[in-house]
Amino acid sequence: MKKTWKRSGAALMLTAAIAGSAGCETRSDADIPAAPVPEYEISWTMHQNRNVPEDAEMLRYVEEKHNVKLNIWNLQNNRYESLLDLRLAREGPSDLLRIRQPQDLLKYRQQGLLAEIPQATLDRHAPNLMAAIRKYAPVYADYGVIDGRIYGIPAISPTNVYRIPVVYRQDWLDKLGLDSPRTLAEFERVIYAFAHEDPDGNGIKDTYGLSREGMNVVFGAFGQVVFADQLYFGEKDGALVVGALEPEMKEALRYLRKWYADGVIDPEFVTGENKGGYKHLSHSFINGRIGMTSMGNYYHWIGDGDYKAWTVDGRGGSHEIPVESTYNVKELNAKNPDARVSFGRPFSGPGGKRGSKAYDRLMSFTAIGANATEEPGKLEKILHILDDVSANPDPDERTALRNGVIGKHWAWADASKQDIVTLPPYERTPDYLNVIGANLGMSVPYPPTGRREQWASTLGLDRDGIYNALEGSTPSLASSGEALIRLKDKAYLSFITGERPLAEFDEFVLEFLEAGGRDVLAEANALRR
């Protein structure tokens, strides 16, 4: 509101000045209507890749609409948890709290940072949001319940039905006369060629087969996922297991250990493929060090012309054009215009298993900070705003709250209202939604209808995904999860590099169980009963 009110005041003052010049009259500031006082000041966290300006246009629109002042906590997405925890320790919880990692809901509840959201209050003040969750993802409706009380509203991804793609340098495959591998044995031949047969043609030994993210496809050939920012659980004989502890992982590690010793794995894999900035970029792939990866989602790997996208012409009319490359492909082609990528199906392992990592449909939780209940009516107001910015039933208003002002920032592509086009100059403004303060709400599982998702379906990405069999958390996982992930990662890195003999795998399993893993498994399986 601040920006709008200032403009209104300026307009009134300008009118008064003109009138004064004409009639030699004067007006005092007391004659100018005062800006309305916000009913509440609400601190707010959200998904963002860049800071939201305090005077952002759509932020002010929402403030005026609901007569509130929103204070956005600008937390860089690729450091969200660490920045959030620092601010929580300093200031306490924000009024609306985005909990990006679902397993952290229990942790924050145990720390007393969250307010209970009564079911009747939630249904009354966020009716559209809850109706969408119950209609399109009913299994998740109660996922924010702890000890019979609601502490989080589940944010469900409509697009995580698509797994992480398996990506190859197609120009390298072509030069070496190789096809996309279908089996682990074929994959081994491909990565050895990538590492030892100079696929970039520069005469220097500076290429490798894969790095850290590609290893999950190797683990997937044995049925599990290991490297992730959460503990991945699988199912075996009707029970939950931690995938990294399963005996078949020793066989996967034998392959990786050999490949590392033979110079096939990028020695920088220990520090990961992303070297800073946007977290879904594989710089190892972009810089031509590796020829295969499984990092980033499908929309991080769109190439020029992969499908037809809507655009707008100089007269404001929309028409279809070949889509332009995004993220990893865009960065790769900026460095090497002749580089080409392709998608492969996850290759099968000795037992016929295959898969790549898939992100849970449960993306995060939206919670209310405990301090919000100190002001009567504030919790209800927050829910009302959240319902509006996330699930407004009017398609024009809902899309405007997500994308900005219709006719200025975006327009419908056609009468079906299935796709939008972003208007100039915003279509070339990175993260323009954050710049204008749009998309303040949470993810709602409306069925995807856009061209991009139709393209993803043609790639088979809705098959062969390995999902975490445990969505949510347990008390032991909340308290021990981060330490267990560090223990697991350290052991796996040591096994792969040869610093630790593979004969000690069972010893590692015991270390994991004694460090809290046994309690985590017991509690996880108790949830299933």
- Among 458, 493, 515, identify where a domain stops: 458
Same-domain check for residues 298 and 408: no
250 within domain boundaries: yes
Same-domain check for residues 350 and 211: yes
- Among 397, 425, 458, identify where a domain stops: 458
pLDDT at 450: 87
309 within domain boundaries: no
Phi, psi angle pair for 153, to nearest 5°:
-100, 120
Q: Are 279 and 77 in contact, with CB atoms under 8 Å apart? A: yes
Same-domain check for residues 99 and 240: no
In CATH, what number is assigned to the domain containing residue 178? Answer: 3.40.190.10
Same-domain check for residues 215 and 286: yes
What is the span of the domain harbouring residue 419? 37-159+363-458
Same-domain check for residues 373 and 513: no
Q: How far apart are CA 470 and CA 132, in angstroms?
A: 23
320 within domain boundaries: no
Which is it for the CA torsion 107, 113, 118, 124, positive or negative? Answer: negative
The pTM of this model reads: 0.79
Same-domain check for residues 336 and 442: no
pLDDT at 17: 29
Give the number of other Cβ atoms within 10 Å of residue 499's Cβ.
9
314 within domain boundaries: no
Left, alpha or beta for 272 (phi > 0: left; psi -120 to 50: alpha)? left
Same-domain check for residues 446 and 503: no
Structure tokens at 516: 């809290």
Helical segments of 342-463, H only? 378-391, 395-403, 432-436, 451-458
Same-domain check for residues 337 and 242: yes
Same-domain check for residues 294 and 435: no
pLDDT at 440: 98
- Among 458, 491, 517, identify where a domain stops: 458
Q: How far is CA 217 from CA 82, 142, 208, 352, 357, in A?
A: 28, 32, 16, 13, 7
Which is it for the CA torsion 301, 305, 306, 311, positive or negative? Answer: positive
pLDDT at 78: 82
Same-domain check for residues 408 and 441: yes
The total number of structural domains that make up the chain: 3
Q: What is the mean pLDDT of each run of 10 residues along the chain (529 residues)?
A: 32 28 40 73 95 97 98 92 96 97 93 98 99 97 96 97 98 99 99 99 98 99 96 96 98 99 98 94 99 98 96 79 97 98 98 97 97 98 99 98 97 91 90 97 93 93 96 90 98 99 99 98 91
Same-domain check for residues 415 and 329: no
In eight-state DSSP terms, residue 268 is G
468 within domain boundaries: no
Same-domain check for residues 235 and 281: yes
465 within domain boundaries: no
Q: Are 441 and 389 in contact, with CB atoms under 8 Å apart? A: yes
pLDDT at 35: 64
Nearest alpha-carbon partner for 105 in 139, 156, 159, 150: 150
pLDDT at 33: 56
Percentages of the chain per state (helix, strand, coil), in multiples of 5: 45, 15, 40
3 state DSSP class of 59: helix
- Terminal CA-to-CA distance of the chain, rounded, Å? 51
Structure tokens at 46: 């959200």
Residues near 88 by Cβ (< 8 Å), separated by ≥ 6?
113
The separation between CA 49 and the C-alpha centre of its own chain, rounded to angstroms, equals 11
pLDDT at 19: 33
291 within domain boundaries: yes
Q: How far apart are CA 329 and CA 323, in angstroms?
A: 12
391 within domain boundaries: yes
Q: Count CA atoms within 13 Å of residue 128 on its CB side.
A: 19
